[in-house]
């Protein structure tokens, strides 16, 4: 750019030199002087080997358009692949949370039986036992420091599963079920499975995290919203537990 500007200035200087000699060049108007200067600059640029035109020809424009189109197509291809991966990952996550295996069998197909929950959830120096199930409209419904309560949905009852956690080790035991993130579902009288709620109760077993002193026991609960017609005469109840890619079904009642 600097070189071209220098050439144009040089052309202007030549014209001024020529017009200074009145006997050789006839007197010209300002417009004529401009045309002559432009013509001279064009000649100098024409014979400048380093000069490249500022405008692209049709061939270069077509090449650039083709390159731009390829970039767009590649971006679209990658976006489609990422969307496909995200959809597949979401599907697999949903299957894991619902207790479904790759062949489509659900956790309902797993027979209920005695299960060592502490061992299944990899809780060290701790035992877990069931202490029955009850049905309420509100829980808890009493207590001196009642700051949080759950209400059953219309046409439903709250199924309260009572558990006891006991430190069976030789010292303090840290229990962190919250970070293990197991999934619980409850079935009453062989009916459909209802997801256990995640609550703000201090003794919510599904999200409990705390330290049990040597020999200490605490009461904990799991709460599910169950249709009222399922809660009349209870003959059996089972708890499905999904953790670390595996599912077990434990008898809660009787």
- pLDDT, one tens digit per residue, over 50-92 is 545 555 567 777 777 777 777 677 677 767 767 776 776 676 6
69 belongs to a structural domain: no
Inside any domain, residue 64: no
What's residue 20's pLDDT? 43
Together in a domain, 31 and 144: no
Query: Given this model, what pLDDT does residue 141 score?
Result: 79
- Whether 150 and 246 map to the same domain: the answer is yes
Using an 8 Å Cβ cutoff, are 235 and 189 in contact? yes
Q: Would 59 be classed as within a structural domain?
A: no
Q: What is the dihedral of CA 167, 169, 170, 173, to 10 degrees?
A: -60
How many CB atoms are located within 10 Å of the residue 122 CB? 9
- Residues 102, 107: Cα–Cα separation, whole Å: 12
pLDDT tens by residue, 195-216: 999 998 889 999 999 999 999 9
> Are both 115 and 231 inside the same structural domain?
yes
Q: Taking the model in full, what pTM does it have?
A: 0.57
Q: How many domains does the chain have?
A: 2
Q: What percent of the chain stands above pLDDT 70? A: 64
- pLDDT tens, position by position, 131-189: 999 999 999 877 655 567 899 999 999 999 999 999 998 899 999 999 999 999 999 99
Domain that holds residue 137: 109-253
């Amino acid at each position: 750019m600097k070189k071209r500007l220098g050439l144009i200035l040089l052309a202007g200087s030549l014209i001024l030199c020529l017009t200074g000699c009145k006997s050789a060049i006839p007197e010209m108007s300002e417009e004529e002087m401009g045309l002559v200067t432009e013509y001279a600059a064009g000649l100098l640029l024409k014979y400048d080997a380093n000069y490249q035109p500022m405008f692209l020809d049709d061939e270069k424009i077509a090449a650039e358009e083709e390159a731009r189109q390829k970039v767009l197509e590649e971006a679209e291809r990658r976006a489609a692949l990422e969307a496909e991966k995200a959809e597949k990952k979401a599907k697999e996550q949903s299957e894991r949370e619902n207790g479904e295996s790759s062949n489509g069998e659900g956790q309902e197909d797993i027979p209920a039986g005695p299960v060592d929950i502490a061992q299944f959830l990899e809780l060290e120096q701790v035992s877990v036992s069931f202490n029955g199930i009850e049905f309420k409209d509100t829980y808890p419904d009493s207590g001196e420091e009642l700051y949080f309560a759950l209400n059953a949905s219309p046409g439903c009852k709250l199924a309260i599963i009572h558990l006891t956690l006991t430190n069976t080790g030789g010292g303090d035991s840290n229990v962190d079920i919250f970070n293990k993130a197991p999934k619980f579902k409850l079935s009453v009288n062989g009916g459909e499975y209802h997801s256990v709620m995640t609550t703000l109760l201090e003794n919510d077993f599904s999200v409990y995290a705390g330290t049990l002193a040597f020999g200490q026991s605490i009461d904990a609960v799991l709460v599910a919203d169950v249709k009222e017609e399922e809660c009349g005469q209870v003959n059996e109840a089972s708890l499905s537990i999904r953790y670390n890619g595996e599912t077990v079904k434990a008898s809660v009642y009787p």
